[in-house]
Structure 1
Amino acid sequence: MRNILVLISGLLLATPIAVAEDGTNASAGAPLESIDGVFLDTVDVNIVNVDVYVTDKKGNRITGLTKDDFELYEDGKPVVITNFYAVEEGTVKEGGIPLEPLDELAPPENFGSVAAAPEDQRLSLIVYVDNFNLHPFSRNRAFSYVRSFLRQKMKIGDRVMLVSYDRTLNERQPWTQDPELVASALYDLEDKSAHRVHWDSDRRDLLEAIFEADRISDVRGRVQTYAENLYNDMRFTIKALRELVEHLAGLPGRKAILYISDGLAMRTGEDLYYALDEKFRNRNASTNGLLMEAFRFDLTRDFQQLTRIANSNRVTFYTLDAEGLRTYSYYDVRNAVPGGSSFVDQTHFHNLQAPLQMLAEETGGFAMINTNNFSAPLARMGEDFTTYYSLGYSPATTASGRFHEIEVKVKNRKGVVVRHRSGFRNKPLPTRMSEGTLAALYHGYESNPIGARLDVGNEVRRDDGYYDVPLTIRVPIKSLELLPLQGMYRGRLRFYIAARDSEGGMSPVQDIPVPIDIQADQLQDAREKYYAYDLTLMMRRGGQRVAVGIHDEIGADSAFISTTVFIGRR
């Protein structure tokens, strides 16, 4: 992916200044660690929230539980639950804080004042329509149920987005707090092409060819080509899902993906290899290694990696198999084999549903399969959104980025079913800051407790056609934690900067350490000023979005701000 942001080294290294309204300056110092051998040890406190859904064996919600009813384990070892949050039918029963108005995304004007859950408990739902792996009829049938769910079950204040995969990922409806906008946008998707029909047509042709073939060599190569091509397409499908899940990492709160498709192949072409084996096994044909060949196209590891990324980013999958109740296509009168043939279709069905079950069950959700009526499972998903427990704890391990398994148990209760994500990745602070910056870039997320500002100056066209765009990051000095040190006060910031153009191209996140020195006798005046950091971005013509993450490395406060600029209009 091409870069659209280049920090010009000469300007990047220029001395930033602290400025007041009158233009008074204060200097930036050398890195803190090099001053008189003094080192600052900061503590990174990271709370992991585990969303838990508890039911009896019939699926009825078990409510009224308290923190003392749960046991939480990390890698098999018990951990102390420090934060507890219980919600029943949308009402906070324990662990709530005074509600604040949403500030990340402005609600529609006709909503008036909208109360929201705490930031780490707000719901963000993405309706993901995989057009590349759907039939038009099954897709449009599922849409009617999804529209009803959005209109009847989603609460005002919840954030919803609609995306589709059509060989590329497309945003059909940006984040909104009005679920009706997403419900309406589904009508537009009903006219779009759905591509699963092509693969199914090729599969039927191959099954017919296998039935009519006299020699295995007549069709084995075609089966391999089909499996290879489908395997490559599945890799692109998984890659698109993975990119979306990765971009959700820095978005706070509960995140859910309602993934709609007609299934995904865990092992592409496996059913066709079984058809070959059944047809030629007892006909003096060489079938050695035939079934092993299917393992060349095994995507199990790819799906496992996707579930781990989702778990690491607190993303829960709810997967909907729009095909519903399936019918056999291979087992019929003319090719019936005693004890066989139906197994070909059974293998095919299992292959398509296994990834849906893995993605959902490993991330705390569930799969909606083997039904033509999605009202009940969608309502059950809605109950997850409004009736749940959230257990928070501080990991005892260092933030090395390693994946850790999670297990939740309910004490002294028999017959309960507990769902939750199966693990998390303990990410170091720089990773979390980069992810927050990307959340600001992709999803408009903003959190600005320190009152920082982002100002863009007038661009200058370069000889190579690019534009130099001056950017100033302003941070109120009074919001910073300053360390007294030999007649001065020292602060330490770190900026994380990324940009994205209207075509989706983006720069990697770049981080800049920024030490600040203020003379002790100037501290009182400095507290009324801003610390301003100037840099220049090199950009292409057109619409650009710039996001900045700011971390006070002494005070441990963070902020994420962003702005949209249009380059080359002059």
Structure 2
Amino acid sequence: MTIGNLCSRPDGRRSYCWCLLTLLVAALAFGYPAAGQEPDALSSSEVAFGEEIDVRVVNLEVVVEDGEGDRVSGLAADDFLVLVDGEEVEVEYFTEVSRGRARPTSGADVPPAVGDGEVVATNYVLFVDDERSLRALRRPVLRGFADRLGLLDPADRVAVVVQNDGRLALLSPFTTDRGATSAALEELDRGRRFRGLLDSRRILRTFTGGGGGTAAYFRDAGPQSHASEAAADLVARGGGISAHVDRNAGGEALLDSRAVVSEGLGAAGAIVASDLVFANMKPDSFEQEARASILEQDLSLSVDAVVSTMRALDPPEGRKVLLLLPGYWPTGEFRPSGRGAGLRTDLQLLDGLIDTANLLGYTIYPMDQQTGSPNMRLWQNLRYVARDTGGMAFMAGSNISALELVASDTSNFYWLGFAPEYRRDDRVREIEVQVQHPGVQVRARRGYLDLSRATEADMEAQRHLLFPQQTEEDVARLRVRTGATRSLRGKRMNVPVDVAIPIGTFTAVPWDGRYVQRLEVRFATIDHDGWRAEQPAIPLDLRHDTAPSPDSVHWFRADVEMRHLPHSLVVTVHDPVSRQTASARIEVKP
């Protein structure tokens, strides 16, 4: 089944990825080496695992300034009013941070992320989108960053992450070693491994047919010379009808994936799925729409990379800051002449980035490249991201000294926290912070995402796809083996995949005299150009006569259909009860 993904939002905004993956799934019990028993398939309605109490704190780093722009100090917790969706919530945690030191307060507990000591460290993540930035234009910004590392507090930590060809590289983990951070920046400056936009294989191939030149990329959505090839590529990504087989259940059902393709593949996919006639469309308008769809997917790749970075890194105690150097991120409505109902605006895509940052407690400070003719639409977008996460955006001069300005901004603020009643419905809760003093201005994050377990697991699978280094460090690993590939029509291929799932590491819940497990299996691929395909969760419900032993294994089989190209295949198995994820990454060649 070919399905489009990812985070659904209550206002109809969705984060879909290219869906190039077709699965013929067969869940087979090949054996349990330790338990020696055969599991039974379990109907999804047979078991309820109960509710989990989530005590994750929503952190609010609040800046209060007077009419002159100077920081207001000496406020207490009672001076603040926090509203969530218009209703007041109790401020359970509070402290004032002045010059990077927590001041003693009364009436509320210190936020857990502050830590036990007086020093409130700041954890900086520098994210550089190598594929969309120009080396010559980002070099002054990165050198300005390196020159100001000495201004940070000795307790502050810095990590450097780079996105290139649809993959993430951790050049330097969180460290207080300024030499290690400088070495990572030097590697970016040399340009041997990270050559920037002009050497991006994927962008060159997509927008210029691989013939060189990137002028088409610097413009917003509109007709370009290579849009016809882009349109053809989109049409080739349509779906079809396949079978979903569960031999344990003894049944087989045919699924018409075209109904789902219309939701997930944007304009061209919807045209194919709906069998629309092109007679009423001018060729140039279709080319324009096709190119707009590619730009939309291009921005989605970048946003997903930043989201995966924030989810993958596990910073120590302290404040979390993301310094974002995006380069030429695409801008536009992606809906030329009102067509393309499945496509979204740039701000809607950026909402996914904002929601994750607010959920995880990151403040974002975007930095523009050092360019003499800035893209004002992009600049407005960067300010939008900064505003809704409580940060600031820097461009044309201020970007050179961005680290110094951010260090000052994050050294003096009020840290508030509250533990909401999570509903897990994927809705954004709007936050408003008020200060009971006239004439002051308040800056803080404006909301948080009430993330569902299913969406959280989808994002975790995406992290494993984009961040190979982090996947290799996971404790729970899957064993995956592939069979001989089989060529299919339409430049596609079929790859049989067997997955050994270590069910002994996952929670088995006693139920009606047996032990049951409800797991979620996900497949995702990424090709050499960074284009991805992600499959929504496949439920795997098992029950056992006795609790599985620690070394029990369940074999899961799937036939994975993809384009006839080399791919990295990532398999993840998620346990919603323990929230553990096991993963494996293998290379697939035609």
Q: Give TM class, smaller chain.
A: 0.5 to 0.7
Residue 562 of structure 1 is matched in structure 2 by: 583
Aligned amino acid, residue 489 of structure 1: R
Give 1:287's aligned residue.
none
Corresponding residue of 2:503: 475
Contact 1:267 1:294 in 2 (8 A): no
C-alpha change, 1:98 and 1:367, in structure 2 (3 Å) is: closer
- Verify: 1:382 aligned to 2:407, yes or no: yes
Written as runs of structure 1 = structure 2, the 5 A alignment for 1:495-514 is 495-503=520-528, 504-514=530-540
Displacement, 1:193? 6.4
Give the superposition deviation at 1:255: 6.2
In structure 2, the residue matched to 1:280 is none
- 1:73 corresponds, among 83, 95, 101, to 83
Aligned position for 2:128: 127
Partner of 1:304: 347
Shift of 1:381: 1.8
Match for residue 436 of structure 1 among 427, 448, 460: 460
**Alignment correspondent of 1:146:** 145
Q: Residues 138 and 499 (structure 1 numbering): CA distance in 2 closer, same or farther, change over 3 Å?
A: closer
Equivalent position to 1:242, from 285, 303, 307: 303
Aligned 8 A contact 2:572 2:584 in 1 = no
Q: Which residue identity lines up with residue 504 of structure 2 in the other structure?
A: P
Aligned mates of 2:404, 2:424 — CA distance in 1: 37
Deviations 1:447-491 (A, max 9, x none): 999x6441224x3214436543321110336x6252242xx2333
Change (3 A) 1:507 1:392: farther
| Alpha-carbon distance in structure 1 between the residues aligned to 2:497 and 2:519 | 21
Structure 1 residue 367, shift from structure 2 partner: 1.6
Does residue 551 of structure 2 align to residue 551 of structure 1? no
Query: In structure 2, which of residues 399, 424, 440 is the aligned counterpart of residue 399 of structure 1?
Result: 424
Partners of 2:218 and 2:494 in 1: CA distance: 48
Give the count of matched residue pairs.
Answer: 454
Give me the whole-angstrom Cα distance separating, in 2, the residues matched to 1:232 and 1:515.
37
Task: Name which one, 1 or 2, has greater alpha-carbon Rg.
Answer: 1
Letter in 2 for 1:482: V
Question: 1:562 Cα deviation (Å)?
Answer: 2.7
Question: Percent identity of the aligned residues?
Answer: 17
Map Cα deviations across residues 331-351 of structure 1 (whole Å, 9 max, x no partner): xxxxxxxxxxxxxxxxx9865
Aligned-partner SS, 1:159: strand
How many angstroms does 1:558 deviate by? 0.7
Q: How does 1:248-327 map to 2 (within 5 A)?
A: 248=309, 250-251=311-312, 254=320, 256-259=322-325, 261=327, 302-314=345-357, 316-323=363-370
Following superposition, the deviation at residue 397 of structure 1 comes to 6.7
1:124 deviates by 3.8
1:223-234 alignment to 2 at 5 Å?
Answer: none
Deviations 1:174-212 (CA, angstroms, capped at 9, x unpaired): 56444234311332359756799969999xxxxxxxxxx
Which residue of structure 2 lines up, in the alignment, with residue 161 of structure 1? 161
Q: Determine the C-alpha separation between the residues in 1 that align with 2:87 and 2:556.
A: 47
3-state SS of 2:367 partner: strand
In structure 2, the residue matched to 1:184 is: 186
Q: Which residue of 1 aligns with 2:281?
A: none
The amino acid of 2:507's aligned partner reads L
- Give per-residue Cα distances to partners, 1:377-410, cap 9 Å, x unaligned: 3212234566666544444473332333111234
Tell me if structure 2 keeps the 8 A contact 1:399–1:428. yes
The aligned residue for residue 484 of structure 2 is: 461
Aligned residue in 1 for 2:61: 52
Retained in 1: the 8 A contact 2:325–2:369? Answer: no
Query: Which letter maps to 2:43?
Result: P
Kept after mapping to 2: 8 A contact 1:500/1:507: yes
Please report how far the alpha carbon of residue 435 of structure 1 lies from its aligned counterpart in structure 2 after TM superposition.
0.8
Q: Which residue identity does 2:427 align to in structure 1?
A: R
Deviations 1:271-316 (CA, angstroms, capped at 9, x unpaired): xxxxxxxxxxxxxxxxxxxxxx9999xxxx8343244222211164
Deviations 1:426-449 (A, max 9, x none): 232111111112112212546999
Contact persistence 1:497–1:510 (CA under 8 A) = yes
Aligned-residue RMSD, C-alpha: 5.1
Instruction: Tell me what 1:25 maps to.
Output: 37
2:451 is aligned to 427
Q: 1:374 to 1:15 in 2, by over 3 A?
A: closer
Residues 62 and 493 (structure 1), Cα distance of their counterparts in 2 relative to 1, 3 Å cut? farther
Q: Which amino acid aligns with 1:456?
A: V
Q: Is the Cα contact below 8 Å between 1:259 and 1:320 reproduced in 2?
A: yes
What is the CA–CA distance in structure 2 between the aligned matches of 1:4 and 1:294, rounded to whole Å?
27
Q: What are the Cα deviations for residues 524-565 of structure 1, in whole angstroms up to 9, with x where unaligned? A: xx4x4344221234467856342414224xxx3211233332
In the superposition, the TM-score normalised over structure 2's length comes to 0.60
How far 1:42 moved relative to its partner? Answer: 2.7
- The equivalent of 2:556 in structure 1 is 535
Secondary structure at the aligned position of 1:461 is classed as: coil
Q: Which amino acid aligns with 1:163?
A: Q
Unaligned 5+ segments in structure 1 are: 101-116, 203-226, 269-292, 327-347
Where 1:472 maps in the other structure, the secondary structure is strand
Distance in 1 (CA, whole Å) between partners of 2:539 and 2:294 is: 42
Most deviating of 85-94 and 138-147: 85-94
User: Displacement of 1:151 after TM fit?
Assistant: 6.9
Change (3 A) 1:265 1:26: closer
2:37 is matched by which residue type in structure 1? N
Deviation at 1:173, TM superposition (A): 6.0
> Which structure 2 segments of 5+ residues have no match?
1-16, 104-109, 175-179, 200-212, 220-287, 315-319, 488-492
Please tell me whether the aligned partners of residues 82 and 89 of structure 2 are also in contact (alpha carbons under 8 angstroms). Answer: yes
Amino acid corresponding to residue 429 of structure 2 in structure 1: H
Contact 1:72–1:409 (Cα < 8 Å) also in 2: yes
Report the alpha carbon displacement of residue 66 of structure 1 after superposing the two structures with TM: 6.9
1:95-126 Cα offsets, whole Å, 9 max, x none, are 447989xxxxxxxxxxxxxxxx99xx965431
Quote how far apart the aligned CAs of 1:153 are.
4.0
Amino acid at match of 2:303: R
Using structure 1 for the length normalisation, give the TM-score. 0.62
Cα shift at 1:145: 1.0
Cα distance in 2, alignment partners of residues 235 and 515 from structure 1: 36
Give the secondary-structure state (helix, strand or coil) at the position aligned to 2:425: coil
- Structure 2 letter corresponding to 1:162: V
Q: 1:409 aligns with which of 434, 456, 459?
A: 434
Indicate how the Cα distance of structure 1 residues 548 and 357 shifts in structure 2: closer, same or farther if over 3 A, else same: same
Alignment-mate amino acid for residue 244 of structure 1: A
Partner of 1:400: helix, strand, or coil? coil
**Residue in structure 2 matching 1:492, options 517, 521, 530:** 517
Cα deviation for residue 376 of structure 1 reads 4.2
SS at match of 2:83: strand
Matched residues in 2 for 1:243 and 1:51: separation? 24
State the alpha-carbon separation in 2 of the partners of residues 63 and 7 from structure 1: 58
- What is the DSSP-based 3-state SS (H/G/I as helix, E as strand, rest coil) of the residue aligned with 1:185? helix
